[in-house]
Structure 1
Amino acid sequence: MLHDSNFLKENNARHMWHPMAHPAEMQAHPPKLLVAAEGVTLTDVDGHKTLDAVGGLWNVNLGFSCDPIKKAIADQLNELPYYSAFRGTATSPAVELSYQLAEWFKPDGLVRSFFTSGGSDSVETALRLARQYHKIRGERDRTKFISLKKGYHGTHFGGASVNGNANFRRNYEPLLPGCYQIAAPYTYRNPFDESDPETLAKICAQLLEDEILFQGPDTVAAFIMEPVLGAGGVIPPHESFMPMVRDICDRHGVLLIADEVITAFGRTGAWTGSRLWGVKPDLMTIAKAITNGYFPFGGVMIGDKVADVFENSTDSFGAIGHGYTYSAHPVGAAAALACLPEMKKANVAANAAARGDELLAGCEALKEKHEIVGDVRGKGLMVAVELVADRGTKTPIDKATIGAVFETAYAEGVMLRVSGNTIILSPSLVITADDVQRIVAALDAGLAAQSA
């Protein structure tokens, strides 16, 4: 495709509002304008190439040149570009994908799929199914949801209501009633001044139980959490936390929803975040990497306990009055079917674990070198570098400074992601050890420019 660079630059951010951005700021400072990608390398409108340390948006796990997925999309467009999955019709790619996913997620105890158009859709679906599960069982007061502060669960009203960050909530309030947040096991910043991750995990788990008891267990539908918190700043809990959560939910009849839109398919170094912590959730949200980001697609994986209640229901409460025009889209399903074997072939989970250890070590070395690095944390290829103006007070760095770090790294040939005062690194799961060193070197240059 030919690109008229002058036209693109003149119209960049002029007619399109960008997600998660202020329109006026985008117009004053237009975003990077990308025109091509190959492997793990991006090319902008001026021909400048950068290594993508963002992985698209946590989702391009196989890089930008996975031809089998592209071919599957093209072939499906020629064969059957679309048909609805509403009652009465199904398509062959969706049927086959549901079978493959039941096999893929068997170790997580998940046996059924409900397909969506993406992560926010998947969260909305999981919340609805959780409420409906209790209604089928006759516990119709179980409507409340509990989640973690700093957690991120998409942008629909349900997802925003269980989000744990005010910047995703305040401009859209009032949100869904009956949603409550507890403190996250965020070792670097927590209200208990607790620096031991295991102790903090126990405190936060107890907060969950206290909140369930305070609300009344018979009013709580589900607890939703990311196995490793992503957009909230990459916060890996202690390994004991999610198992404690599972036990608490079981004792009180509360469903556990694992939001794995980011963590499923290998990013943590395990094939799912739940598997990483040895936990079987009742519902799991998936999206992003299921098609390598090449087609909007997602789903909710459903555990046998929940599936049995729905499938044995004999009244109208068991009917699913929910769905999307693009649920089980045949092109998306075909893309996912091509993606699954490619992820296995590349063993991206193992590579994420190995490269993630290298990336974390490289960033920890930068902490020793640069005073503005307050904290480094991560799991697999989810790594955060939190910048502060003062290590003693942990005062967040100002927006201009972290923006300058981003620009310097970009000039050095690496695309970073900035979220508040934190740099988030989530590169494709096929990166090499050399790619890791390039990321660390570019970040080093950005930090050095601000420390000078």
Structure 2
Amino acid sequence: MRDANFLIANNAKNIWHPMAHPAELRAHPPKIMMKGSGVHVSDIDGRTLLDAVAGLWNVNLGYSCEPIKKAIAEQLDALPYYSGFRGTSTGPSIQLAYELAEWFSPEGMVRTFFTSGGSDSVETALRLARQYWKIKGQGDRTKFVALKKGYHGTHFGAASVNGNANFRRNYEPLLPGVFHIPVPWTYRNPFNETDPARLAKLCAAALEDEIAFQGADTIAAFIMEPVLGAGGVIVPPESFMKLVREICNHHEILMISDEVVTGFGRSGAWSGARLWGIQPDMMTIAKAITSGYFPLGATLIGEKMAEVFENDKSGVGSIGHGYTYSGHPVGCAAGIATLAETRRLKLDENAAARGGELLNALQALQSKHHIIGDVRGQGLMAALELVSDRDTRKPLDKASMAVVAEIAYEAGVMIRVSGNNIILSPPLILGASDVEKIAQAIDAGLTAVA
């Protein structure tokens, strides 16, 4: 690799970065990360930072997990790649699919379709949902319903079920036949309802109304994140996902649980579906399946759907969909090692414990800083919503948000700013002292803005 001077001089000149304006990053080049160990990363200037966003929700086991690195190296020596298209399998893909079926058996998952990441997994789920209804002779079921503020990825189908205009408007028209209902978010909702149970029922009623308007026999599936991530760590009321499952059952609509962020312990449970006590028809996973060490994802399929595909005699059940890297043997080897370490370290329990401490620390900051309008969290997913006025809930301006992030960075913590939210999703190996450091760094940033 070229020296530091070269990297600094060419930073953001030849790369267009995700979720950023190219001109803005050319004017203000991004941080350059060079090393990582445990829950820390180091930038090109040698500054060490606690990574309070775990890369992008995904480095659950931190940056120096030897079993994963060893599994990758050994698989590169044995078989660095082979196609998973029909006619061939690899040992790691067979083993990982078996282990995923065991891991998510409480959610009712029995089959795995491997992908290269979360957007791929959502795209696959949407396609399989439509195909399922064609096999059953109900080809009019092509529509999808999702939550406003939800995030499901960047492919055209995945972006279409996104519920945030920031990820949609510049790419419209998107997939037709996608409709959105209000998210049960007590801080901001169209009903001005602050009681979680009542709000859950109002949003469930909105789903019923949309189904009635569209016609249940035209809807393929409903998709939601059990805890909304990029939309601002919106934690639905405990009753909401169960209500949705009941409604989907009643109208024979498939339910997709997007677990790309919530899978493998981040919510304090092994999945968001398990957290809320439901069995979806499909689940989408990625990110933490390899702790970010290799691009890998999967769409998991429940027994009801699997039986329809596997019992098909017409040929419509043949899957005309796939990716070059579906079931990549190196990625699957990384996934096997990741699952073993995730289970051994009981990351779900640590996420629940450290997440409780983090939420308490952030609520203490809310008492101190008037610009914190709302604090939300579940497991090691948390958000601070910053406002210029608590009464009107007017979002804090972009420049002030940038100051908070920069001061926190100088204090040794990497945080993520999304709109007027500070989003936190640290590695699940986080310790109690790390929680304190995150709170102190954010405190410094808020103090600077105030």
Aligned equivalents of 1:34 and 1:318: distance in 2?
46
Matched, 1:215 2:214: yes
Aligned to 1:225: 224
Please give the residue correspondences for 1:364-443 in structure 2 after superposition, counting only pairs within 5 Å.
364-443=363-442
| 1:52-78 deviation digits (Å, cap 9, x = unpaired) | 000110000010010100110111111
Aligned to 2:99: 100
1:6 Cα deviation from its structure 2 partner: 1.0
With normalisation by structure 1, the TM-score equals: 0.99
1:213 Cα deviation from its structure 2 partner: 1.1
Aligned to 1:25: 24
With normalisation by structure 2, the TM-score equals: 0.99
| 1:234-271 deviation digits (Å, cap 9, x = unpaired) | 00000000000000000001000000000000000000
Partner SS state of residue 130, structure 2 = helix
Matched, 1:255 2:227: no
Aligned equivalents of 2:68 and 2:41: distance in 1?
19
| Between 408-417 and 3-12, the greater mean CA deviation after superposition | 3-12
Aligned to 1:54: 53
Please give the residue correspondences for 1:231-380 in structure 2 after superposition, counting only pairs within 5 Å.
231-380=230-379
Partner SS state of residue 228, structure 1 = coil
Aligned equivalents of 1:14 and 1:48: distance in 2?
23
Please give the residue correspondences for 1:78-93 in structure 2 after superposition, counting only pairs within 5 Å.
78-93=77-92
Aligned equivalents of 1:316 and 1:372: distance in 2?
59
Aligned equivalents of 1:74 and 1:411: distance in 2?
35
Q: Aligned AA for 2:353? A: A
Partner SS state of residue 437, structure 1 = helix
Q: How many residues align?
A: 450
Aligned equivalents of 2:91 and 2:340: distance in 1?
18
Aligned to 1:75: 74
Partner SS state of residue 375, structure 1 = strand
Partner SS state of residue 426, structure 2 = coil
1:150 Cα deviation from its structure 2 partner: 0.2
| 1:396-450 deviation digits (Å, cap 9, x = unpaired) | 0000000000000000000000000000000000000000000000000000111
Aligned equivalents of 1:265 and 1:435: distance in 2?
21
Aligned to 1:139: 138
Aligned equivalents of 1:327 and 1:150: distance in 2?
29
| 1:102-133 deviation digits (Å, cap 9, x = unpaired) | 11010110000000000000000000000111
1:172 Cα deviation from its structure 2 partner: 0.3
1:3 Cα deviation from its structure 2 partner: 5.6
Aligned to 2:444: 445
| 1:281-323 deviation digits (Å, cap 9, x = unpaired) | 0000000000000000000110000001001001121000000
Aligned equivalents of 1:363 and 1:31: distance in 2?
27
Q: Aligned AA for 1:9? A: I
Aligned equivalents of 1:410 and 1:168: distance in 2?
26
Q: Aligned AA for 2:399? A: A
- In the alignment, structure 1 segments of 5+ residues that lack a partner are none
Partner SS state of residue 449, structure 2 = helix
Partner SS state of residue 92, structure 2 = helix
Aligned equivalents of 1:161 and 1:167: distance in 2?
12
Aligned equivalents of 2:346 and 2:2: distance in 1?
36
Aligned to 2:177: 178
Aligned equivalents of 1:341 and 1:257: distance in 2?
26
Matched, 1:196 2:195: yes
Runs of 4+ in 1 over 6 A off after TM superposition: none
Partner SS state of residue 265, structure 2 = coil
* CA RMSD in angstroms, aligned pairs only: 0.6
| 1:132-180 deviation digits (Å, cap 9, x = unpaired) | 1111001110000000000000000000000000010000000000000
Partner SS state of residue 288, structure 2 = helix
Q: Aligned AA for 2:359? A: L
Q: Aligned AA for 2:338? A: C
Aligned to 1:40: 39
